[in-house]
Amino acid sequence: MPEGFPAMEWIDAATAAERLGVKPATLYAYVSRGVLRRRHGDDGRRSLFSAEEVERLARRGRPRNRPPELVIESAVTALGVDRPYYRGRDVLELAATSGFETVAAWLWTAGPALPHQRPAPAGSPAGSGGHGEESAAPSGGAVWRCEPQALRAAVAAQQGLPEDLLPLDRLQVIATVLGASDPLRHQLDPASVSDTGRRLIAGLVDAMPQLSEPQGESIAQRLWSRLCPAPPAPGLLHALQAALVLLADHELAASTLAARVAASARADPYAVVLTGLGVLGGPLHGGASYGAERLLAEVAEPRQAARAITDRLRRGERVPGFGHSVYTNGDGRGGALLDLVKEAAPEHERIAAGQAVLAEMRRRRLPERNIDFSLAILAAVSGMVSGAGEAIFAVARAAGWLAHAMEEYERGTLLRLRASYTGPPIT
Protein backbone atom coordinates (compact mmCIF):
# COMPACT_ATOMS: atom_id res chain seq x y z
CA MET A 1 0.00 0.00 0.00
CA PRO A 2 1.41 3.46 -0.92
CA GLU A 3 2.99 5.47 1.84
CA GLY A 4 0.59 7.92 3.48
CA PHE A 5 -2.54 5.74 3.30
CA PRO A 6 -3.66 4.15 6.57
CA ALA A 7 -4.56 0.50 6.72
CA MET A 8 -8.16 0.41 5.55
CA GLU A 9 -10.37 -1.25 2.99
CA TRP A 10 -10.32 0.20 -0.53
CA ILE A 11 -13.05 -0.49 -3.09
CA ASP A 12 -13.17 0.07 -6.83
CA ALA A 13 -15.06 2.86 -8.59
CA ALA A 14 -17.99 0.68 -9.70
CA THR A 15 -18.62 -0.53 -6.14
CA ALA A 16 -18.33 2.98 -4.69
CA ALA A 17 -20.66 4.46 -7.31
CA GLU A 18 -23.26 1.74 -6.74
CA ARG A 19 -23.20 2.30 -2.97
CA LEU A 20 -23.65 6.06 -3.42
CA GLY A 21 -26.16 5.79 -6.24
CA VAL A 22 -24.15 8.06 -8.55
CA LYS A 23 -22.35 7.76 -11.86
CA PRO A 24 -18.63 6.95 -11.72
CA ALA A 25 -17.84 10.43 -13.10
CA THR A 26 -19.47 11.95 -10.00
CA LEU A 27 -16.95 10.12 -7.80
CA TYR A 28 -14.12 12.07 -9.42
CA ALA A 29 -15.99 15.32 -8.85
CA TYR A 30 -16.16 14.35 -5.16
CA VAL A 31 -12.40 13.73 -5.20
CA SER A 32 -11.69 17.16 -6.71
CA ARG A 33 -13.87 18.77 -4.01
CA GLY A 34 -12.10 16.94 -1.20
CA VAL A 35 -15.16 14.88 -0.27
CA LEU A 36 -13.55 11.52 -1.06
CA ARG A 37 -9.98 10.28 -1.19
CA ARG A 38 -8.72 8.22 -4.09
CA ARG A 39 -5.62 6.16 -4.74
CA HIS A 40 -4.46 3.98 -7.60
CA GLY A 41 -4.32 0.23 -7.41
CA ASP A 42 -1.17 -1.82 -7.81
CA ASP A 43 -1.54 -1.65 -11.60
CA GLY A 44 -1.26 2.15 -11.42
CA ARG A 45 -4.49 2.72 -13.34
CA ARG A 46 -7.48 1.41 -11.36
CA SER A 47 -9.00 4.00 -9.01
CA LEU A 48 -9.74 2.87 -5.48
CA PHE A 49 -11.82 4.63 -2.82
CA SER A 50 -11.94 4.34 0.94
CA ALA A 51 -14.84 2.05 1.83
CA GLU A 52 -15.20 3.85 5.18
CA GLU A 53 -15.50 7.29 3.54
CA VAL A 54 -17.95 5.99 0.95
CA GLU A 55 -20.13 4.44 3.63
CA ARG A 56 -20.03 7.63 5.71
CA LEU A 57 -21.03 9.69 2.69
CA ALA A 58 -23.82 7.28 1.77
CA ARG A 59 -25.32 7.61 5.25
CA ARG A 60 -24.96 11.39 5.28
CA GLY A 61 -26.29 11.92 1.77
CA ARG A 62 -24.73 13.74 -1.13
CA PRO A 63 -22.55 16.69 -0.13
CA ARG A 64 -24.40 20.00 -0.24
CA ASN A 65 -21.88 22.34 1.34
CA ARG A 66 -20.67 23.49 -2.08
CA PRO A 67 -22.48 24.30 -5.31
CA PRO A 68 -22.90 21.28 -7.57
CA GLU A 69 -20.17 20.76 -10.14
CA LEU A 70 -20.64 20.18 -13.82
CA VAL A 71 -19.62 16.60 -14.55
CA ILE A 72 -19.03 15.67 -18.20
CA GLU A 73 -18.48 12.08 -19.20
CA SER A 74 -15.42 11.78 -21.46
CA ALA A 75 -13.29 8.97 -22.84
CA VAL A 76 -10.35 11.23 -23.75
CA THR A 77 -8.23 11.68 -20.61
CA ALA A 78 -8.21 10.44 -17.02
CA LEU A 79 -6.19 12.14 -14.31
CA GLY A 80 -3.96 9.96 -12.17
CA VAL A 81 -2.08 10.73 -8.97
CA ASP A 82 0.65 12.73 -10.70
CA ARG A 83 -0.05 12.48 -14.44
CA PRO A 84 -2.82 12.13 -17.03
CA TYR A 85 -3.67 9.06 -19.10
CA TYR A 86 -4.68 9.56 -22.73
CA ARG A 87 -7.37 6.99 -23.54
CA GLY A 88 -5.82 4.70 -20.95
CA ARG A 89 -2.17 5.29 -21.86
CA ASP A 90 0.33 6.81 -19.41
CA VAL A 91 1.39 10.21 -20.76
CA LEU A 92 4.96 9.78 -19.48
CA GLU A 93 5.25 6.58 -21.48
CA LEU A 94 3.80 8.29 -24.54
CA ALA A 95 6.23 11.19 -24.24
CA ALA A 96 9.11 8.71 -24.27
CA THR A 97 7.84 6.52 -27.11
CA SER A 98 5.64 8.53 -29.48
CA GLY A 99 5.70 11.71 -31.53
CA PHE A 100 3.16 14.49 -31.17
CA GLU A 101 1.37 13.74 -34.44
CA THR A 102 0.90 10.10 -33.44
CA VAL A 103 -0.42 11.02 -30.01
CA ALA A 104 -2.80 13.61 -31.47
CA ALA A 105 -4.25 10.94 -33.77
CA TRP A 106 -4.65 8.67 -30.73
CA LEU A 107 -6.54 11.41 -28.88
CA TRP A 108 -8.80 12.03 -31.85
CA THR A 109 -9.62 8.49 -32.92
CA ALA A 110 -8.07 6.04 -30.41
CA GLY A 111 -6.22 4.44 -33.30
CA PRO A 112 -4.11 3.12 -34.83
CA ALA A 113 -2.35 1.43 -31.93
CA LEU A 114 0.43 3.54 -30.49
CA PRO A 115 3.99 2.29 -30.92
CA HIS A 116 6.30 1.42 -28.05
CA GLN A 117 9.32 2.85 -29.80
CA ARG A 118 10.02 6.34 -31.07
CA PRO A 119 8.63 7.12 -34.55
CA ALA A 120 10.61 6.18 -37.65
CA PRO A 121 12.93 8.90 -38.96
CA ALA A 122 11.95 11.33 -41.69
CA GLY A 123 11.89 9.60 -45.04
CA SER A 124 9.42 6.88 -44.14
CA PRO A 125 6.77 6.10 -46.77
CA ALA A 126 4.15 8.83 -47.01
CA GLY A 127 0.42 8.54 -46.68
CA SER A 128 -2.33 10.98 -47.52
CA GLY A 129 -3.65 13.69 -45.29
CA GLY A 130 -7.01 15.37 -45.89
CA HIS A 131 -6.40 19.08 -46.20
CA GLY A 132 -2.64 18.56 -46.42
CA GLU A 133 -0.10 17.39 -48.96
CA GLU A 134 1.48 13.96 -49.32
CA SER A 135 5.00 13.81 -47.95
CA ALA A 136 7.19 11.76 -45.67
CA ALA A 137 6.57 12.34 -41.94
CA PRO A 138 8.45 11.21 -38.82
CA SER A 139 5.40 9.20 -37.77
CA GLY A 140 5.36 7.31 -41.07
CA GLY A 141 2.23 9.15 -42.28
CA ALA A 142 1.67 12.39 -44.16
CA VAL A 143 3.41 15.56 -43.08
CA TRP A 144 0.83 17.92 -41.61
CA ARG A 145 0.36 20.83 -43.99
CA CYS A 146 -1.79 23.88 -44.50
CA GLU A 147 -2.17 25.01 -48.11
CA PRO A 148 0.13 27.88 -49.20
CA GLN A 149 -2.67 30.33 -50.05
CA ALA A 150 -4.11 30.15 -46.54
CA LEU A 151 -0.64 30.49 -45.01
CA ARG A 152 0.05 33.59 -47.08
CA ALA A 153 -3.19 35.13 -45.84
CA ALA A 154 -2.33 34.31 -42.21
CA VAL A 155 1.14 35.81 -42.60
CA ALA A 156 -0.28 38.94 -44.26
CA ALA A 157 -2.76 39.39 -41.40
CA GLN A 158 0.18 39.81 -39.02
CA GLN A 159 1.70 42.71 -40.94
CA GLY A 160 1.64 45.86 -38.86
CA LEU A 161 1.58 43.96 -35.56
CA PRO A 162 4.34 44.82 -33.08
CA GLU A 163 7.49 42.81 -33.73
CA ASP A 164 7.75 41.86 -30.06
CA LEU A 165 4.18 40.55 -29.91
CA LEU A 166 4.00 37.38 -27.85
CA PRO A 167 3.53 34.20 -29.91
CA LEU A 168 0.20 33.39 -28.23
CA ASP A 169 -1.28 36.65 -29.53
CA ARG A 170 -0.10 35.78 -33.04
CA LEU A 171 -1.70 32.35 -32.80
CA GLN A 172 -5.12 33.90 -32.23
CA VAL A 173 -4.77 36.01 -35.37
CA ILE A 174 -3.56 33.01 -37.38
CA ALA A 175 -6.40 30.75 -36.21
CA THR A 176 -8.98 33.37 -37.20
CA VAL A 177 -7.61 33.67 -40.75
CA LEU A 178 -7.22 29.92 -41.20
CA GLY A 179 -10.83 29.39 -40.20
CA ALA A 180 -12.13 32.07 -42.55
CA SER A 181 -10.22 30.47 -45.44
CA ASP A 182 -11.47 26.89 -44.92
CA PRO A 183 -14.71 26.02 -46.75
CA LEU A 184 -14.74 22.62 -45.00
CA ARG A 185 -14.77 23.99 -41.47
CA HIS A 186 -18.45 23.15 -40.88
CA GLN A 187 -18.00 19.44 -41.57
CA LEU A 188 -18.03 18.01 -38.06
CA ASP A 189 -17.74 14.27 -38.55
CA PRO A 190 -14.63 12.76 -36.88
CA ALA A 191 -12.65 12.22 -40.09
CA SER A 192 -13.25 15.79 -41.24
CA VAL A 193 -12.37 17.25 -37.84
CA SER A 194 -9.15 15.20 -37.83
CA ASP A 195 -8.27 16.60 -41.26
CA THR A 196 -9.08 20.10 -40.03
CA GLY A 197 -6.93 19.54 -36.95
CA ARG A 198 -3.90 18.62 -39.02
CA ARG A 199 -4.38 21.66 -41.26
CA LEU A 200 -5.02 23.99 -38.32
CA ILE A 201 -2.08 22.92 -36.16
CA ALA A 202 0.27 22.97 -39.14
CA GLY A 203 -0.97 26.45 -40.04
CA LEU A 204 -0.60 27.75 -36.50
CA VAL A 205 3.06 26.74 -36.59
CA ASP A 206 4.00 27.60 -40.17
CA ALA A 207 2.38 31.05 -40.22
CA MET A 208 4.48 32.28 -37.31
CA PRO A 209 7.62 34.24 -38.26
CA GLN A 210 10.48 31.87 -39.10
CA LEU A 211 13.58 32.46 -36.96
CA SER A 212 15.78 29.56 -38.10
CA GLU A 213 15.82 26.78 -40.67
CA PRO A 214 13.63 23.78 -39.78
CA GLN A 215 15.69 20.62 -39.24
CA GLY A 216 12.88 18.34 -40.39
CA GLU A 217 9.18 18.06 -41.20
CA SER A 218 7.63 17.23 -37.82
CA ILE A 219 5.51 19.75 -35.95
CA ALA A 220 8.17 19.88 -33.21
CA GLN A 221 10.96 20.62 -35.68
CA ARG A 222 8.97 23.31 -37.47
CA LEU A 223 7.78 24.85 -34.19
CA TRP A 224 11.39 25.08 -32.97
CA SER A 225 12.28 27.14 -36.05
CA ARG A 226 9.52 29.61 -35.14
CA LEU A 227 10.55 29.99 -31.51
CA CYS A 228 14.35 29.86 -31.58
CA PRO A 229 16.92 31.62 -33.83
CA ALA A 230 19.49 28.85 -33.35
CA PRO A 231 19.21 25.26 -34.66
CA PRO A 232 18.28 22.68 -32.01
CA ALA A 233 20.55 20.36 -30.15
CA PRO A 234 19.08 16.85 -30.54
CA GLY A 235 18.39 16.46 -26.82
CA LEU A 236 16.54 19.75 -26.58
CA LEU A 237 14.48 18.99 -29.68
CA HIS A 238 13.56 15.69 -28.05
CA ALA A 239 12.49 17.63 -24.96
CA LEU A 240 10.28 19.90 -27.10
CA GLN A 241 8.69 16.86 -28.74
CA ALA A 242 8.02 15.39 -25.30
CA ALA A 243 6.57 18.69 -24.06
CA LEU A 244 4.05 18.69 -26.91
CA VAL A 245 2.94 15.19 -25.93
CA LEU A 246 2.81 15.97 -22.20
CA LEU A 247 0.68 19.08 -22.80
CA ALA A 248 -1.68 17.73 -25.47
CA ASP A 249 -4.57 17.29 -23.05
CA HIS A 250 -5.46 17.54 -19.37
CA GLU A 251 -9.07 16.51 -18.93
CA LEU A 252 -11.41 19.45 -18.18
CA ALA A 253 -8.87 22.21 -17.66
CA ALA A 254 -10.38 25.69 -17.93
CA SER A 255 -9.57 26.15 -21.62
CA THR A 256 -10.87 22.67 -22.46
CA LEU A 257 -14.15 23.27 -20.66
CA ALA A 258 -14.57 26.50 -22.62
CA ALA A 259 -13.72 24.68 -25.85
CA ARG A 260 -16.27 21.96 -25.09
CA VAL A 261 -18.99 24.53 -24.44
CA ALA A 262 -18.22 26.12 -27.81
CA ALA A 263 -18.31 22.73 -29.53
CA SER A 264 -21.61 21.84 -27.86
CA ALA A 265 -23.09 24.89 -29.62
CA ARG A 266 -21.79 23.40 -32.92
CA ALA A 267 -19.04 26.00 -33.26
CA ASP A 268 -16.58 24.91 -35.94
CA PRO A 269 -13.13 23.53 -34.96
CA TYR A 270 -11.38 26.86 -35.58
CA ALA A 271 -13.82 28.63 -33.26
CA VAL A 272 -13.28 25.86 -30.69
CA VAL A 273 -9.51 26.38 -30.79
CA LEU A 274 -9.92 30.18 -30.67
CA THR A 275 -12.06 29.77 -27.56
CA GLY A 276 -9.35 27.64 -25.96
CA LEU A 277 -6.64 30.11 -26.93
CA GLY A 278 -8.59 32.94 -25.32
CA VAL A 279 -8.68 31.15 -21.98
CA LEU A 280 -5.22 29.59 -22.14
CA GLY A 281 -3.31 32.85 -21.71
CA GLY A 282 -4.67 33.47 -18.21
CA PRO A 283 -1.92 33.49 -15.56
CA LEU A 284 -3.65 30.67 -13.68
CA HIS A 285 -3.54 28.45 -16.77
CA GLY A 286 -1.14 28.32 -19.73
CA GLY A 287 0.05 31.86 -19.03
CA ALA A 288 1.80 30.53 -15.93
CA SER A 289 4.72 29.44 -18.12
CA TYR A 290 5.24 33.07 -19.19
CA GLY A 291 5.27 34.09 -15.54
CA ALA A 292 7.81 31.35 -14.83
CA GLU A 293 9.96 32.62 -17.72
CA ARG A 294 9.98 36.09 -16.15
CA LEU A 295 10.84 34.61 -12.75
CA LEU A 296 13.83 32.75 -14.21
CA ALA A 297 14.95 35.89 -16.05
CA GLU A 298 15.28 37.65 -12.67
CA VAL A 299 17.63 34.93 -11.41
CA ALA A 300 20.78 35.88 -13.29
CA GLU A 301 22.76 33.71 -10.88
CA PRO A 302 21.61 31.12 -8.32
CA ARG A 303 22.04 33.35 -5.25
CA GLN A 304 19.29 35.65 -6.56
CA ALA A 305 16.62 32.95 -6.34
CA ALA A 306 15.66 33.77 -2.74
CA ARG A 307 15.08 37.44 -3.51
CA ALA A 308 12.97 36.69 -6.60
CA ILE A 309 10.69 34.43 -4.57
CA THR A 310 10.57 36.76 -1.55
CA ASP A 311 9.55 39.71 -3.71
CA ARG A 312 6.59 37.81 -5.13
CA LEU A 313 5.43 36.55 -1.77
CA ARG A 314 5.73 40.05 -0.29
CA ARG A 315 3.46 41.37 -3.04
CA GLY A 316 0.96 38.64 -2.27
CA GLU A 317 1.53 36.92 -5.62
CA ARG A 318 1.70 33.25 -6.44
CA VAL A 319 5.07 31.94 -7.49
CA PRO A 320 4.45 30.98 -11.14
CA GLY A 321 5.31 27.45 -12.16
CA PHE A 322 4.65 25.96 -8.72
CA GLY A 323 1.66 24.17 -7.23
CA HIS A 324 -1.16 22.35 -8.98
CA SER A 325 -4.84 22.02 -8.14
CA VAL A 326 -4.86 18.33 -9.12
CA TYR A 327 -1.31 17.11 -8.43
CA THR A 328 -0.90 18.31 -4.88
CA ASN A 329 2.20 16.16 -4.31
CA GLY A 330 3.99 17.02 -7.54
CA ASP A 331 3.36 17.07 -11.29
CA GLY A 332 4.99 14.04 -12.93
CA ARG A 333 4.90 15.75 -16.33
CA GLY A 334 7.08 18.55 -14.99
CA GLY A 335 9.59 16.09 -13.57
CA ALA A 336 9.82 14.14 -16.82
CA LEU A 337 10.34 17.28 -18.92
CA LEU A 338 12.88 18.77 -16.53
CA ASP A 339 14.89 15.54 -16.57
CA LEU A 340 15.07 15.67 -20.37
CA VAL A 341 16.28 19.28 -20.35
CA LYS A 342 18.90 18.54 -17.69
CA GLU A 343 20.09 15.51 -19.63
CA ALA A 344 20.40 17.58 -22.82
CA ALA A 345 22.27 20.52 -21.23
CA PRO A 346 23.48 19.53 -17.75
CA GLU A 347 25.99 22.37 -17.40
CA HIS A 348 23.80 25.18 -18.72
CA GLU A 349 23.65 28.21 -16.41
CA ARG A 350 19.83 28.36 -16.73
CA ILE A 351 19.65 24.85 -15.29
CA ALA A 352 21.61 26.08 -12.26
CA ALA A 353 19.24 29.03 -11.88
CA GLY A 354 16.23 26.75 -12.07
CA GLN A 355 17.70 24.35 -9.53
CA ALA A 356 18.28 27.27 -7.18
CA VAL A 357 14.64 28.31 -7.47
CA LEU A 358 13.52 24.73 -6.82
CA ALA A 359 15.79 24.45 -3.77
CA GLU A 360 14.52 27.74 -2.33
CA MET A 361 10.88 26.73 -2.79
CA ARG A 362 11.54 23.42 -1.05
CA ARG A 363 13.44 25.15 1.76
CA ARG A 364 10.35 27.26 2.43
CA ARG A 365 8.08 24.20 2.17
CA LEU A 366 6.16 25.83 -0.66
CA PRO A 367 4.35 23.86 -3.41
CA GLU A 368 6.30 21.66 -5.81
CA ARG A 369 7.10 22.65 -9.40
CA ASN A 370 4.67 21.87 -12.18
CA ILE A 371 5.08 21.51 -15.95
CA ASP A 372 4.90 25.29 -16.48
CA PHE A 373 8.19 25.73 -14.61
CA SER A 374 9.87 22.95 -16.59
CA LEU A 375 8.55 24.51 -19.80
CA ALA A 376 10.12 27.83 -18.81
CA ILE A 377 13.47 26.12 -18.22
CA LEU A 378 13.25 24.43 -21.62
CA ALA A 379 12.62 27.80 -23.27
CA ALA A 380 15.46 29.50 -21.36
CA VAL A 381 18.04 26.77 -21.98
CA SER A 382 17.10 26.63 -25.67
CA GLY A 383 17.31 30.40 -26.13
CA MET A 384 13.71 30.68 -27.30
CA VAL A 385 11.82 33.95 -27.68
CA SER A 386 9.79 35.44 -24.85
CA GLY A 387 6.45 33.67 -24.44
CA ALA A 388 7.65 30.50 -26.17
CA GLY A 389 6.23 28.32 -23.39
CA GLU A 390 2.72 29.62 -24.00
CA ALA A 391 3.06 28.88 -27.72
CA ILE A 392 4.24 25.31 -27.06
CA PHE A 393 1.34 24.85 -24.65
CA ALA A 394 -1.19 26.25 -27.14
CA VAL A 395 -0.02 24.22 -30.15
CA ALA A 396 -0.03 21.05 -28.06
CA ARG A 397 -3.38 21.66 -26.37
CA ALA A 398 -5.13 22.34 -29.70
CA ALA A 399 -5.01 18.57 -30.21
CA GLY A 400 -6.82 17.98 -26.93
CA TRP A 401 -9.42 20.70 -27.54
CA LEU A 402 -10.34 19.05 -30.83
CA ALA A 403 -10.57 15.60 -29.21
CA HIS A 404 -13.07 16.99 -26.71
CA ALA A 405 -14.89 18.87 -29.47
CA MET A 406 -15.41 15.57 -31.30
CA GLU A 407 -17.15 14.17 -28.23
CA GLU A 408 -19.46 17.19 -28.06
CA TYR A 409 -20.25 17.01 -31.78
CA GLU A 410 -21.17 13.35 -31.27
CA ARG A 411 -23.21 14.10 -28.13
CA GLY A 412 -25.26 16.72 -29.94
CA THR A 413 -26.69 18.59 -26.94
CA LEU A 414 -25.87 22.06 -25.65
CA LEU A 415 -23.88 22.33 -22.43
CA ARG A 416 -25.94 24.69 -20.29
CA LEU A 417 -24.59 25.66 -16.89
CA ARG A 418 -26.92 27.29 -14.36
CA ALA A 419 -26.17 30.15 -12.01
CA SER A 420 -27.08 30.28 -8.34
CA TYR A 421 -28.68 33.75 -8.17
CA THR A 422 -27.41 35.95 -5.29
CA GLY A 423 -28.56 39.38 -6.48
CA PRO A 424 -31.32 41.72 -5.21
CA PRO A 425 -34.80 40.29 -4.64
CA ILE A 426 -36.84 39.98 -7.81
CA THR A 427 -39.79 42.38 -7.81
Nearest to 324 by CA among 351, 363, 285, 287: 285
Structural element, H or E, at residue 47: strand 47-50
Asked whether 292 and 354 are in contact (CB, 8 A), the reply is: no
- Catalytic, 372? Answer yes
| Integer Cα distance of 227 and 379 in angstroms | 9
Catalytic residue of the set 182, 195, 331, 372: 372
Which CB contacts under 8 angstroms, 24+ apart, belong to 3-7? 5/39
Helix (H, G, I), strand (E, B) or coil at 340: helix
Tell me the CA distances in angstroms from 327 to 3, 156, 367, 370, one per residue in order.
16, 42, 10, 9
Nearest to 391 by CA among 169, 100, 163: 169
| Integer Cα distance of 345 and 338 in angstroms | 11
The burial class, CB within 10 Å (0-12 / 13-18 / 19+), for 187 is middle
Measured in whole angstroms, how far is the alpha carbon of residue 370 from the centre of its chain? 12
Catalytic residue of the set 238, 250, 285, 324: 324
The burial class, CB within 10 Å (0-12 / 13-18 / 19+), for 403 is buried
**How would DSSP label each residue in 183-231?**
TTTT--SHHHHHHHHHHHHHHHHHTSPP-S--SSSSHHHHHHHHH-SSP
Asked whether 131 and 147 are in contact (CB, 8 A), the reply is: yes
Non-local CB neighbours of 229 within 8 Å, separated by 6+ positions: 211, 212, 383
Asked whether 40 and 81 are in contact (CB, 8 A), the reply is: yes
Torsion sign, CA atoms 182, 186, 190, 192: negative
Q: What order of strands is seen across the sheet that includes strand 38-40? A: 10-12, 47-50, 38-40
DSSP code at position 304: G
